[in-house]
């Protein structure tokens, strides 16, 4: 009977990962209170996914896009008007190997959103939404890490650092506030909305994760006297997630999802806009744990039946948060004597190259400018600015899994002579780096019977390429320590092809363990 000792390891296994584009379409009828639409000027939206339902081999997503349309009215004196609608959607995405009891995290962004004027009272809207899905399964596994009360079993061990899951949790945050606009402005309608979660941070206290961030809302609105104004407002968000046994040395993966949003003129107070945002925050907490992994074992005297299993876990998990300043001059056509009323900024990485201690990125800023002429006409201009970014001082860059989250922290635009604009954009780049490790674990050990008694006392063996003392000892039922002692091999156990070794026979009278 072999007595084995085990230790526990909790892993957060990535079961499925998929990036998909879903298309959301719908029609909108212009309300009777609004003038006919002549031309669309711009369309924006905020994606909310309020329900995720994991099923066997698939996931169902239910949500909506809060859509804002700026348009040029037909046959009236107003310069611009606005429409707001909600595009509901339900989408089923195929995901192999997922089941109902697993966990899922999502990120999404609008790749494009367009509207087509069908007639003066009807608009067709089509949005392409990029969905990034990750499905995880928490597993508690037992690892055989030692053999007790067995004098002749030889074990090849390795101390390995892995990232073991401490726990998971989530919380919902309801951010509510009233945005005050200029006291001289009589709000007519909201023209566009942009929402981002920025300045994300965590603090670890006793059995709790404190999540802190800001919901940054940028609004364009129309006044009763046909002026277009812009305001940016930040709402602090704070949440607590209960996870037992966390400490300051743990690493936390935090994901924010916007579940719902309400933005409307405040009926209770003039010169203000009411905002309510529902945010779901998920957190997975990892600890760095050293496991004593038995890579292989055998007995010179007994035949052993080993049952093994393969487990994938993560190692060398780190977090980085860095800033990137981009300053560039660009030229746009036909913007003389125009005022800049809004800029939408988006940043993305287009290319990634891993080279040993560095990861090199080629990125791009996409800028959408909105100008207003003296005769109150809207003009839209687009520009793209390439940029580079480097993550350095890393090890085994080619083996790393990397996820980046880019925040627009600051933005400033200065119109100069000759239609030049000086662009100053500050990015915050949050990077998650880790390696995956496939562990071949010994699960159970059973004694089958005694080995046949060998009739030799000493064998002469010529070392071959890729040999090791462990492989040779296991092959001949000897021990690595006995081979080293007989041949005078140093403690580093280095051998080389062509070397002549004397292989002693193992005897129970004087067994030696590795």
Question: How much is the pLDDT for 510?
Answer: 47
* Six token digits for residue 25: 């379409």
Residue 338 lies in a domain: yes
The total number of structural domains in the chain stands at: 2
| The three-state (H, E, C) secondary structure of 457-487, written as one string | CEEEEECCCCCCHHHHHHHHCCCHHHHHHHH
Question: How much is the pLDDT for 455?
Answer: 64
Given 414, 439, 464, the domain boundary residue is 439
141-155 burial, b at 16+ Cβ within 10 Å, e below that, comes to bebbbebeebebbbb
Residue 233 lies in a domain: no
Identify the DSSP state of 510: S
Tell me the C-alpha distance between 406 and 507, whole Å. Answer: 64
Same domain, 425 and 467: no
Task: Average the pLDDT over 114-125 and give the result.
Answer: 94
Give 159's pLDDT tier (boundaries 50, 70, 90): confident
Which domain CATH number covers 475? Answer: 3.10.350.10
Residue 116 lies in a domain: no
Same domain, 352 and 463: no
Residue 397 lies in a domain: yes
Say yes or no to pLDDT of 457 above 80.
no
Residue 295 lies in a domain: no
Same domain, 432 and 461: no
Same domain, 498 and 416: no
Say yes or no to pLDDT of 56 above 90.
yes
Task: Average the pLDDT over 4-19 and give the result.
Answer: 88
* Six token digits for residue 176: 């509510």
Say yes or no to pLDDT of 9 above 90.
no
Strand pairing partners for 126? 25, 114
Tell me the C-alpha distance between 485 and 479, whole Å. Answer: 10
User: Quick check: helix, strand or coil at residue 187?
Assistant: strand
Say yes or no to pLDDT of 421 above 50.
yes
* Six token digits for residue 457: 């006392």
Same domain, 352 and 423: yes
Residue 320 lies in a domain: yes
Same domain, 376 and 435: yes
Render pLDDT for 15-40 as a digit per residue (tens, 0 to 9): 999 999 999 999 999 999 999 999 99
Question: How much is the pLDDT for 445?
Answer: 86
80 touches 228 (CB < 8 A):
yes
Strand pairing partners for 450? 302
Q: Provide DSSP, 201-269.
A: EEEEETTEEEEEEEEEEEEEEEETTS-EEEEEEEEEEEEEEE-TT--TT-EEEEEEEEEEEEEEE-TTS
Give the residue numbers spanning the domain of 460.
Answer: 455-504
Q: Which contiguous run of DSSP H or E holds residue 280? A: strand 272-298
Residue 352 lies in a domain: yes
pTM: 0.86
Given 415, 439, 463, the domain boundary residue is 439
Report how far Cα 8 is from the mean position of its chain's Cα atoms: 27
Same domain, 423 and 347: yes
Residue 48 lies in a domain: no
Give the chain's mean pLDDT: 90
Question: How much is the pLDDT for 508?
Answer: 61
Say yes or no to pLDDT of 325 above 90.
yes
Question: How much is the pLDDT for 505?
Answer: 83
- Burial label, 295 (beta-carbon count in 10 A; 0-12, 13-18, 19+): middle
Given 409, 439, 469, the domain boundary residue is 439
Give 395's pLDDT tier (boundaries 50, 70, 90): confident
Q: Which contiguous run of DSSP H or E holds residue 109? A: strand 103-119
Question: How much is the pLDDT for 454?
Answer: 64
Tokens 């299993």 found at: 309
Same domain, 335 and 411: yes
Tell me the C-alpha distance between 406 and 298, whole Å. Answer: 51
Question: How much is the pLDDT for 14?
Answer: 87
Same domain, 475 and 372: no
45-78 burial, b at 16+ Cβ within 10 Å, e below that, comes to bbbbbeebebeeeebebebbbbbbbbbbbeeeee
Task: Average the pLDDT over 392-412 and give the result.
Answer: 90
Same domain, 369 and 344: yes
* Sign of the four-CA dihedral 366, 382, 21, 407: positive
Same domain, 418 and 320: yes
Task: Average the pLDDT over 408-427 and give the result.
Answer: 91
Same domain, 486 and 396: no
Residue 378, C-beta contacts closer than 8 angstroms, at least 6 positions apart = 41, 42, 70, 72, 79, 80, 228, 370, 371, 372
Task: Order across the sheet with 358-372: list the strands.
Answer: 339-355, 358-372, 378-391
396 touches 354 (CB < 8 A):
no
């Amino acid at each position: 009977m072999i007595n084995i000792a085990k230790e526990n390891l909790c892993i957060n296994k990535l079961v499925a990962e998929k990036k998909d584009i879903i298309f959301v379409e719908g029609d909108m009828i212009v309300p009777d209170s609004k003038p006919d639409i002549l031309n669309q000027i711009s369309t924006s939206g905020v994606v909310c996914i309020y329900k995720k339902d994991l099923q066997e081999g698939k996931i169902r997503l239910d949500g909506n896009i809060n859509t804002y349309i700026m348009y040029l009215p037909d046959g009236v004196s107003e310069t611009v008007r606005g429409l707001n609608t909600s595009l509901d959607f339900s989408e089923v995405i195929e995901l192999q190997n997922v089941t109902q009891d697993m966990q899922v995290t999502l990120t999404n962004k609008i790749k494009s959103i367009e509207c087509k004027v069908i007639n003066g009272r009807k608009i067709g809207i089509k949005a392409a939404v990029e969905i990034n899905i990750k499905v995880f399964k928490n597993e508690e596994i037992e690892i055989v890490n030692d053999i007790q009360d067995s004098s002749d079993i030889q074990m090849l061990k390795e101390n390995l650092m892995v990232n073991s899951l401490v726990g998971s949790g989530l919380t919902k945050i309801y951010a509510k506030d009233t945005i005050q606009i200029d006291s001289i402005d009589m709000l007519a309608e909201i023209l566009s909305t942009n929402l981002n979660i920025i300045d994300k941070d965590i603090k670890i206290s006793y059995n709790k994760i404190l999540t802190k961030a800001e919901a940054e809302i940028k609004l364009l609105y129309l006044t009763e006297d046909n002026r277009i104004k812009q305001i940016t407002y930040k709402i602090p968000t704070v949440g607590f997630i209960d996870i037992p046994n966390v400490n300051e040395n743990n690493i936390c993966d935090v994901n924010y999802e916007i579940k719902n949003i309400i933005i409307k003129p405040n009926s209770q107070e003039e010169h203000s806009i009411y905002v309510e945002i529902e945010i779901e925050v998920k957190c997975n907490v990892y600890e760095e744990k050293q496991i004593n992994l038995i890579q292989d074992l055998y007995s010179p005297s007994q035949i052993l039946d080993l049952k093994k299993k393969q487990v994938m876990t993560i190692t060398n998990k780190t977090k980085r948060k860095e800033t990137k300043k981009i300053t560039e001059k660009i030229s746009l056509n036909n913007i003389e004597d125009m005022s800049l009323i809004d800029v939408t900024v988006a940043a993305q990485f287009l290319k990634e190259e891993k080279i040993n201690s560095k990861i090199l990125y080629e990125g791009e800023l996409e800028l959408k400018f909105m100008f207003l002429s003296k005769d109150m006409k809207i003009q839209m201009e687009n520009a793209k600015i390439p940029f580079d970014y480097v993550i350095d001082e890393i090890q085994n860059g080619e083996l790393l899994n990397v996820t980046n989250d880019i925040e627009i922290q600051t933005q400033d635009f200065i119109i100069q002579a000759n239609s030049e604009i000086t662009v100053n954009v500050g990015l915050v780049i949050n990077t998650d780096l880790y390696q995956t490790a496939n562990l071949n674990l010994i699960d159970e050990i059973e004694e089958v019977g005694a080995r046949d008694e060998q009739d030799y006392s000493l064998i002469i063996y010529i070392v071959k390429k890729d040999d090791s003392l462990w492989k040779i000892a296991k092959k001949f039922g000897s021990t690595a320590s006995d081979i080293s002692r007989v041949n005078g091999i140093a403690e580093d156990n280095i051998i080389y092809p062509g070397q002549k070794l004397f292989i002693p026979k193992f005897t129970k009278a004087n067994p030696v363990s590795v």
